[in-house]
Structure 1
Amino acid sequence: MKLQYFLIITLIMVLAVSGCTYDDSDQTYQYNDSSYDLNSTPQTTTTPTNTARLTNTSSENKNVEVSGLCYKVIDGDTIDVEGVGRIRFVGVNTPERGESGYWDAKNFVKNKCLGKTVGLDIDDAKNKDKYGRTLAVVYVDGENLNQELLREGYAEVMYIPPSEFNPYRWS
């Protein structure tokens, strides 16, 4: 009898714990931000059709180490790149979900790189952040997107040494 109670309690605990993990990165949120135009960019994402297509594009831009298709924009400073994974724009910080300017920054990045091949200059001093995202400067059509986020006012400088990049030179 005690064994049955133990098994039931164990099963309940396993079910409870397994329901405690949740990844909201793929969820669609509705946020009332007066600066966001609902007609500007659809809130859909595309998924890659071809996996692990890395290209060395040194002839295109001397700073680019690898490139791949940007198939998802997480927010204004984080994207997913086919064959590379999750990329965190090094040296910049954009507003988080729920903060003013979030949708503007996210849509700026969507318009620039979603569905396009992006070049990455990965930070040699520290190539991953604490969440395992690759830290890099993102190039689209030869343009430093990290620098453009600062120049257009969508981001602020976020310098965390060690880093091979000095974002204060971009602004």
Structure 2
Amino acid sequence: MVAVVDGDTIDVDTGAGAQRVRIIGIDTPEIGRGGKTDECFAQEARAMLDELIYRSDVELIADPTQADVDRYGRLLRHVHHEGHSVALTLIKTGAGYEYTYGAAYDGQDAHRTAQDAAERDRRGLWAACATGGVR
């Protein structure tokens, strides 16, 4: 079972207990916490991920090019739902950006192509945000 934290982070109930997972290959606008203001399209990105996978089963796939956990202790995983990459689906809709941390990852080229198409077609944050989605 999955609970959505924000557009690129989920909590997954595993046999070993709850695990926080940072989805590889995508970065979404930050939700303001502690009195800070949300970045443009943060709530929409979270809602899109929520609609896609909330309370569903997902497949977590480690990537040997990436660390097992990030600096915050979150598992770094590709997340698939019904056989499809969640990150790629979100990038295609304009909910987030292709994100590379350190080393190239499996699927990076597809993510970059999807981002280029979303930006060109002005989907999601590429249309909604004053900066045109540029971070």
Given that 1:119 and 1:139 are in contact with CA atoms closer than 8 Å, whether structure 2 keeps it comes out as yes
Q: Give structure 2 stretches of 5+ with no counterpart.
A: 32-37, 115-135
Among candidates 59, 79, 100, match of residue 10 of structure 2: 79
1:22-171 equivalences in 2 (<5 Å):
69-70=1-2, 72-83=3-14, 85-97=19-31, 98-125=38-65, 126-170=67-111, 171=114
Looking at CA atoms only, which structure, 1 or 2, has the larger radius of gyration? Answer: 1
Task: Summarize deviations over 1:101-136 as a string: whole Å, max 9, x none.
Answer: 011110111111111000111122222111111111
Runs of 4+ in 1 over 6 A off after TM superposition: none
Question: For 1:82, what is the secondary structure of its paired residue?
Answer: strand
User: Gapped runs of 5+ residues in structure 1?
Assistant: 1-68
> TM-score, length-normalised on structure 1?
0.56
What is the Cα deviation at residue 166 of structure 1?
A: 4.3
Give the letter for the 1:145 counterpart.
Answer: V
TM-score, with length taken from structure 2: 0.70
Relative contact order: is structure 1 or structure 2 higher (C-alpha 8 Å, sep ≥ 6)? Answer: 2
Contact 1:91 1:159 in 2 (8 A): yes
Cα contact 2:28–2:95 (8 A) shared by 1: yes
- The RMSD of aligned alpha carbons is 1.4
